[in-house]
């Protein structure tokens, strides 16, 4: 297909829903248009009918970014909210344009300045592709680390403000009045003196050609001036989601498109040795087969996945049937095939006994232990865990001589663009990544090598759009995992039961993200002598930033141990935590105490409970070791366990800080509710074990997902005000459920369990 034909069929296709259904902004970015006539700036287009298009540079994966990013622009633009239509920003344009200079300087003095932009972080273009490009048009297009609001707020507010100011300037020119005499609200500009009004739609075209004389002088509204931000807004894509109308990557259909089913070697680092396509080429619909190598680790953030083979057919079920019948042999590295859960866990335990890398060494731990009245020691283990988003990996790719088009739901489209360029040899300026909504994400690297595999397969079929789709089992191969971990904590208590020495060891594989989370910098809970070390070994399973990242395991270790210490000291676990936080000099200690107090009070902490029911409290924080941005919450979980061992999370009481302000409190509540189920799954059900180097639990029969019957009947969420900008809350809240269920099991059954998931244990008890 030449470029002219492609443009025609994309245009025809986009105009004919049903035959070719595509979401949102695809035609524009597919044809590479850089600007619309009525574009005010790269984030805002206003049509004559007052519709406001807001470009979203992050991926909507259920966290509500489609709405919260739009709110940050609309707050400053002062447009009518019901007229707002989000649209994905062009990933291609981001490769060709630089960010406006006025978006590059963050104002203010950081985390504790309400007037400023907070502390956004942007990565660098590096050898593994793109981890955020400091001066590209949309800069960081990644969606990770609960950072969309944190990193985007100041420049999305700026973009909205710049748009508003230019609309006012254009109106002032049209009316020939000084701009200072104008004001705007809900898309209407008013000249107070004359009483004249006009809508944004009326003046948008003129505003598009009216530059702002001093854009660098534009300031953003501090939280006390917000009128839209901070209010609960329903998510703008919900009407389509309840009607089955959202087009996810899996729903992309194109004229002439063929489907690819894939088998990658189930042992990471392995690849296809041989396959016999002749045995299946006569099966219905079958077109071709192609082997693909292990994707270049430089394109997959250093992770080594697998090579494999794809069968291409008219329909996906035909490709899958042929693939399942096709004889094939694997080339499997014997050292990888020798791994299993037991020997990997032993390797971690062995590493933990080695010296390791000392991250913190404050005071004299050995001296503290020598002086202690009592020593408490515990070892916790956590398994590999997959994200298992609901939409299996897929991408649709069309490669021609000098251009690549990709339709995909991905958390890092700039990296997809980079991969497409490297694999095909076609310049990034000619790669068009058309972002779709994701059927779940749960981690920046969650998409594994889905883009790279699809690009390699399509590159071998130039001119034909190829839609690669993984089976669920394949999705468990093409992903990175939360790392397996072990941690040993040892405390020396004084005569009052408070720790005077604490040693924490964590062992994980060397490339585990967030290896040192929850213990880095300080122990959080006060202890005068503290040593923290990490201990590495090497495994073949690719690990990545699964929801919760390092805090998921780290807070399980830390909060479980705090419960053990409190019980050992004969003290109330809430009061014990409160006292130990109060003794610290941590900058956010008052906020942590407030979180504990509010959660305890909400839960009726201390009031009697029926036999077989227990409460447990825990602190959740990211960033509390310093005075930079942080997010702090506390939860009390009320848990019952029947004598037959059935665990029921009855009630969750959540105290969560607002910082200077939450952008969309409704989305925050939904994210908290979702993470309660997420970490309940981690605590009770989920684990990925390894046998002969392969992931064992690779579909939802063995990788169990909690259903509605396990959702807690009561969730209470209370927000409290704090005086700093938040670090984000979309991925590491509700980690407390893990330690809390462990403690409820102890309180009710007397069993102290230290390895997840608890659902694999005998939890029966006798009254």
Partner 1 sequence: MAFDIRVNGKKHSVDAASATPLLWVLRDHIGLTGTKFGCGIGQCGACTVHIDGRAIRSCRVPASAAVGKNITTIEGVSPDGNHPIQVAWKNFDAPQCGYCQSGMIMSSLALLRRHSEPTDSDIDNEVTNACRCGTYHRVRKAIHMAAELMKKEGVNE
Q: What residues are paired with 379 via a beta bridge?
A: 488
Using rule CB under 8 A, residue 256 touches partner 1: no
CB of 453 to partner 1, least distance (A): 18
Using rule CB under 8 A, residue 251 touches partner 1: yes
> Which positions from 381 through 440 interact with partner 1, judged by CB under 8 A?
388-392, 437-440
Question: Rounded to whole angstroms, how far apart are CA atoms 377 and 2?
Answer: 68
Residue 494: CB atoms within 10 Å: 16
Using rule CB under 8 A, residue 242 touches partner 1: yes
Question: Rounded to whole angstroms, how far apart are CA atoms 318 and 730?
Answer: 39
Nearer to partner 1, 258 or 505 (CB): 258
3-class secondary-structure state, position 84: strand
Of 14, 177, 188, 715, the residue at the interface with partner 1 (CB under 8 A) is: 715
Q: How many residues does the chain have?
A: 767
Nearer to partner 1, 607 or 709 (CB): 709
Using rule CB under 8 A, residue 18 touches partner 1: yes
DSSP for 261-322 reads EEEE-SBTT-EEEEE-GGGTTTSTTEEEEEEE-PPPGGGTTT-----EEEEEESSHHHHHHH
Farthest-apart Cα atoms in the chain, separation: 85
> Which positions from 432 through 491 interact with partner 1, judged by CB under 8 A?
437-442, 469, 471-472
Among 179, 45, 201, CA closest to 190: 179
Using rule CB under 8 A, residue 637 touches partner 1: no
> Which positions from 273 through 332 interact with partner 1, judged by CB under 8 A?
284, 315-317
Tokens linked to 637: 């979980």
Using rule CB under 8 A, residue 180 touches partner 1: no
How many Å separate Cα 478 from the centre of its chain? Answer: 17
Using rule CB under 8 A, residue 361 touches partner 1: no
Among 266, 507, 516, CA closest to 382: 507
CB 228 within 8 A of CB 191: no
CB 158 within 8 A of CB 221: no
Using rule CB under 8 A, residue 235 touches partner 1: yes
Using rule CB under 8 A, residue 620 touches partner 1: no
Helix (H) or strand (E) segment spanning residue 444 = none
Nearer to partner 1, 118 or 392 (CB): 392
Using rule CB under 8 A, residue 266 touches partner 1: no
Of 299, 328, 676, 684, the residue at the interface with partner 1 (CB under 8 A) is: 676
Nearer to partner 1, 102 or 248 (CB): 248
Q: Give first-to-last CA distance, the chain, whole Å.
A: 74
Using rule CB under 8 A, residue 86 touches partner 1: no
> Which positions from 44 through 73 interact with partner 1, judged by CB under 8 A?
60-64
Q: What is the DSSP letter of 463?
A: T
Using rule CB under 8 A, residue 666 touches partner 1: yes
Using rule CB under 8 A, residue 255 touches partner 1: no
Residues touching partner 1: how many (CB under 8 A)? 62
Nearer to partner 1, 259 or 292 (CB): 259
CB of 251 to partner 1, least distance (A): 4
Binding window for partner 1 (CB under 8 A); candidates: 96-104, 238-246, 286-294, 297-305: 238-246
CB 613 within 8 A of CB 640: yes
3-class secondary-structure state, position 2: coil
CB 427 within 8 A of CB 455: no
Using rule CB under 8 A, residue 241 touches partner 1: yes
Using rule CB under 8 A, residue 14 touches partner 1: no
Nearer to partner 1, 250 or 376 (CB): 250
CB of 696 to partner 1, least distance (A): 16
Question: Rounded to whole angstroms, how far apart are CA atoms 750 and 369?
Answer: 27
Q: What is the DSSP letter of 510?
A: T
Residues that bind partner 1 (CB under 8 A): 18-19, 21, 60-64, 234-235, 237-248, 250-251, 253, 284, 315-317, 388-392, 437-442, 469, 471-472, 666, 670, 673-678, 699-701, 705, 707-709, 711-713, 715
């Amino acid at each position: 297909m030449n470029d002219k034909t492609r443009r025609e069929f994309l245009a025809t296709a986009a105009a004919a829903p049903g035959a070719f259904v595509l979401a949102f902004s695809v035609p524009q970015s597919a044809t590479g248009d850089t600007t619309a006539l009525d574009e005010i700036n790269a984030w805002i287009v206003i049509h004559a009918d007052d519709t406001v298009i807001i470009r979203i540079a992050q991926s909507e994966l259920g966290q509500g970014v489609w709405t919260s990013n739009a709110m940050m622009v609309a707050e400053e633009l002062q447009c009518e909210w019901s007229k707002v239509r989000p649209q994905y920003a062009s990933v291609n344009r981001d490769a060709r344009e630089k960010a406006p200079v006025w978006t590059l300087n963050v104002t203010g003095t950081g985390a504790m300045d309400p007037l400023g932009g907070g502390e956004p972080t942007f990565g660098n273009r590096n050898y593994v592709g793109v981890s955020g490009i400091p001066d590209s048009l949309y800069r960081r297009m990644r969606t990770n680390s609960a950072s969309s609001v944190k990193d985007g707020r100041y420049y999305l507010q700026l973009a909205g403000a710049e748009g508003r100011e230019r609309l006012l300037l254009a109106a002032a020119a049209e009316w020939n009045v000084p701009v200072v005499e104008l004001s705007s609200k809900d898309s209407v500009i008013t000249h107070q003196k004359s009483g004249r009004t006009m809508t944004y739609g009326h003046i948008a075209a003129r505003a598009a050609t009216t530059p702002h004389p001093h854009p660098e002088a534009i300031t953003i509204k501090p939280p006390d001036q917000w009128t839209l931000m901070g209010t609960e807004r329903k998510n703008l894509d919900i009407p389509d989601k309840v009607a089955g109308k959202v087009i996810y990557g899996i729903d992309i259909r194109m004229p002439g498109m063929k489907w690819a089913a894939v088998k990658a070697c189930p042992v990471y680092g392995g690849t296809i040795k041989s396959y016999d396509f002749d045995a299946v080429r006569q099966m219905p619909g079958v077109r071709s087969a192609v082997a693909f190598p292990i994707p270049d680790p430089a394109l997959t953030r250093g992770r080594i996945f697998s090579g494999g083979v794809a069968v291409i057919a008219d329909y996906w079920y035909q490709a899958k049937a042929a693939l399942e019948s096709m004889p094939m042999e694997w080339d499997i590295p014997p050292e990888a095939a020798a791994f299993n859960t037991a020997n990997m866990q032993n390797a971690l335990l062995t590493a933990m006994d080695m010296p390791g890398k000392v991250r913190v060494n404050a005071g004299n731990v050995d001296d503290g232990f020598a002086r202690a009245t009592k020593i408490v020691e515990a070892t916790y283990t956590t398994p590999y865990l997959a994200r298992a988003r609901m939409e299996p990996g897929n991408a649709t790719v069309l490669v021609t001589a000098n251009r690549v088009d990709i339709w995909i739901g991905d958390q890092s489209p700039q990296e997809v663009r980079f991969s497409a360029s490297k694999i095909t040899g076609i310049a990034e300026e000619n790669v068009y990544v058309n972002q779709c909504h994701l059927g779940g994400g749960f981690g920046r690297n969650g998409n594994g090598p889905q883009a790279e595999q699809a690009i390699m397969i399509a590159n071998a079929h130039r001119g034909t759009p190829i839609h690669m789709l993984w089976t669920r089992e394949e999705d468990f191969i093409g992903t990175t995992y939360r790392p397996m971990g072990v941690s040993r904590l040892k405390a020396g208590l004084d005569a009052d039961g408070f720790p005077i020495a604490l040693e924490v060891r964590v062992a994980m594989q060397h490339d585990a993200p967030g290896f040192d989370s929850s213990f880095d910098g300080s122990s959080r809970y006060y202890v005068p002598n503290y040593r923290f070390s990490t201990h590495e070994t090497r495994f073949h399973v690719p690990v990545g930033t699964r929801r919760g990242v390092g805090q998921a395991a780290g807070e399980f270790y830390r909060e479980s141990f705090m419960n053990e210490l409190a019980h050992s000291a004969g003290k109330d676990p809430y009061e014990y935590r409160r006292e130990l936080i109060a003794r610290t000099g941590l900058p956010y200690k008052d906020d942590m105490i407030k979180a504990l107090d509010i959660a305890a009070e909400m839960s009726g902490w201390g009031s009697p409970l029926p036999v077989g029911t227990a409460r447990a409290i825990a602190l959740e924080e990211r960033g509390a070791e310093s005075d930079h941005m942080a997010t702090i919450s506390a939860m009390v979980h009320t848990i019952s366990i029947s004598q037959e061992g059935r665990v029921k999370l009855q009630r969750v009481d959540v105290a969560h800080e607002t910082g200077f302000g939450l952008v969309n409190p409704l989305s925050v509540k939904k994210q908290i509710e979702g993470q309660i189920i997420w970490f309940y799954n981690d605590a009770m059900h989920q684990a990925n074990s390894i046998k002969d180097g392969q992931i064992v639990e690779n579909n939802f029969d063995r990788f169990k997902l909690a259903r509605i019957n396990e959702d807690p009947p009561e969730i209470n969420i209370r927000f409290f005000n704090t005086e700093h900008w938040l670090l984000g809350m979309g991925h590491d809240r509700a980690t407390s459920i893990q330690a809390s269920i462990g403690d409820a099991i102890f309180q009710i059954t007397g069993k102290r369990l230290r390895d997840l998931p608890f659902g694999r244990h005998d939890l029966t008890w006798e009254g």
